[in-house]
Amino acid sequence: MTTYRNPVLNADWSDPDVIRVGADFYLTVSTFNKVPGLPILHSRDLVNWTIIGHAVTGGYDDVRPGCGVWAPALRYHDGRFWIFYGDPDVGICRVNAEDLRGPWTVPHVVKPGAGLIDPCPLWDEDGQAYLVHGWAKSRAGVNNRLTLHRMAPDGSGVLDEGTLIVDADLLPGYRTLEGPKLYKRDGTYWIFAPAGGVEQGWQSAFRADSIFGPYEDRIVLEQGGTEVNGPHQGGWVDTPSGGHWFLHFQDRGPYGRVVHLQPMVWQDGWPVLGDQGEPVLEGPMPVSGGTLSTPATSDDFAGPALGLQWSWQADPDPSWWELRDGTLRLACVPGPEDLRERPSVLGQRLPGEPCTVTTRLALDGKGRAGLAVLGDSYACVALERTADRTVLVCGSAEPVPVQGSVTVGARIGDGALVTFLADTGEGLREIGAPFQATRGQWVGAVLGLFATGRGSGQAIFETFTVDIER
């Protein structure tokens, strides 16, 4: 492989941040209310990525769309990996670990307060530590500004009231400045920060001789004449050979925020991203010799644990599920009828390109279970079993009586148009009306497995397969 093509992570890997330690690259992203949160991805070339763990294992007891883990910063310092993130209803939090695969410390609140988001630390050469963050107007009443604190070197807390170092209300054309990433290069302090909103925004760079400013700014990446809207919010990283690269997201609606990789060079003391400030769709590999890989999607449920691609919509109860004999068994537990409000939905990211998803499903006892595509709206194909019979249902389609297990699935076509599928003995066929997948709160749509009921029933899922159309 001598070239790569964007996006390098073609699914909802929102607000990426990236570091290099030796020859290895690591990345984490926002996960909002998903549990587990803060996935850790590994790569040897910035293009091929695998999931190796999660840094946060808890969340909320109930479903709270758009809350939770926002815009993390990943760093390596003093022999430990550190992640700082904002919980807009709690404050700035941090976790750390000696090994990225864990165990991680429990989340610690570095600075409490509503609306504190998008933190990033920097440990300077003199031993002083700093923390920069943005503001969420929905909680704090203000945004479009960056605040800097002196911080305890162990990340236990901030040491002052904070200094406003960038007031973007004073910068012509700026709105919603957020997501700052703080760096130091050759004695100059840099803040890479996006502005303009996730769909139509851009990436700016700010530089200063003192960490407290004054900062001068320049837009370093914007859509221009390309089809890559809102190219911003990410991280700068170098390679062992001395190259420089920038990973950022593009908002794609129901697909979420997919990740692009841009080359970066230095001209006249400023970074230049992509092709003279516009995103590139392809280019030479940053590092040769990498192994072709993508984050896992399919799962044969062979255990001993669920694949790392899966997450719940709130804190899971161990009684909800088990892996047994190469199957996933979901208990038909009570809860909200609306799947968007049900913690026990097991989901994963919707692939950013056309694909077909299938799994074989049976019901043992009374209940309802199936495959859903969830965002702000949702639809599903499911089995329903009562004392009298078992039927296959999908929207307004006529229920189909079935015996035993059934293969159910969905084809996600261009534009995230979903056609549900089922095989009741005559091959895999379309069922129900097409459904347009929609984004969720700050996230893309998800593929979800669910089981509902009020008795002792359980749903039995066999191999979950995602076939991408290349």
User: Does the residue 360 lie in any domain?
Assistant: yes
Reported pTM: 0.97
Cα 319 to Cα 343: distance, rounded to the nearest angstrom: 13
What CATH number is associated with residue 178? 2.115.10.20
User: Does the residue 293 lie in any domain?
Assistant: no
User: Does the residue 321 lie in any domain?
Assistant: yes
Q: Are residues 279 and 315 in the same domain?
A: no
b/e map of 292-308 (b: 16 or more CB within 10 Å)? eebbebbbebeeeebbb
Q: Are residues 105 and 219 in the same domain?
A: yes
Q: Are residues 279 and 325 in the same domain?
A: no
User: Does the residue 50 lie in any domain?
Assistant: yes
User: Does the residue 226 lie in any domain?
Assistant: yes
Query: Is residue 178 among the annotated active site residues?
Result: yes
For residue 400, pLDDT beyond 90: yes
pLDDT-based confidence at residue 245 (cuts at 50, 70, 90): very high
pLDDT number for residue 289: 85
Structure-token pair, residue 289: 């010799």
Contact of 244 with 236, CB cutoff 8 Å? yes
Beta-carbon count within 10 A of 386 CB:
10
Cα 115 to Cα 74: distance, rounded to the nearest angstrom: 20
Compute the residue count for the chain: 470
Q: What is the mean pLDDT of the chain?
A: 97
pLDDT-based confidence at residue 290 (cuts at 50, 70, 90): confident
Structure-token pair, residue 163: 């200094």
Q: How far is C-alpha 367 from the chain's CA centre?
A: 31
* Active-site residue (options: 15, 45, 118, 251): 15
What CATH number is associated with residue 368? 2.60.120.200
User: Does the residue 303 lie in any domain?
Assistant: no
pLDDT tens by residue, 98-129 = 999 999 999 999 999 999 999 999 999 999 99
For residue 1, pLDDT beyond 70: no
Amino acid in the structure at residue 414: D
Beta-carbon count within 10 A of 271 CB:
21
What is the count of structural domains for the chain? 2
Q: Are residues 330 and 406 in the same domain?
A: yes
Q: Are residues 418 and 366 in the same domain?
A: yes
Cα 66 to Cα 97: distance, rounded to the nearest angstrom: 26
Q: Which of 241, 199, 240 has the alpha carbon at shortest distance from 222?
A: 199
Q: Are residues 249 and 350 in the same domain?
A: no
Q: Which of 284, 302, 319 is the last residue of a domain?
A: 284
User: Does the residue 300 lie in any domain?
Assistant: no
Q: Are residues 319 and 238 in the same domain?
A: no
Interval 396-408 mean pLDDT:
95
Question: 377 exposed, middle or buried (CB, 10 Å; 0-12, 13-18, 19+)?
Answer: middle
Q: Are residues 253 and 329 in the same domain?
A: no
* Active-site residue (options: 17, 45, 118, 178): 178
Q: Are residues 271 and 317 in the same domain?
A: no
Q: Are residues 142 and 44 in the same domain?
A: yes
pLDDT tens by residue, 338-383 = 999 999 999 999 999 999 999 999 999 999 999 999 999 999 999 9
Q: Are residues 217 and 357 in the same domain?
A: no
pLDDT tens by residue, 425-435 = 889 999 999 99
Domain hosting 194: range is 3-284
Q: Are residues 345 and 276 in the same domain?
A: no
User: Does the residue 188 lie in any domain?
Assistant: yes
Strands (E), 186-231: 188-195, 202-208, 216-221
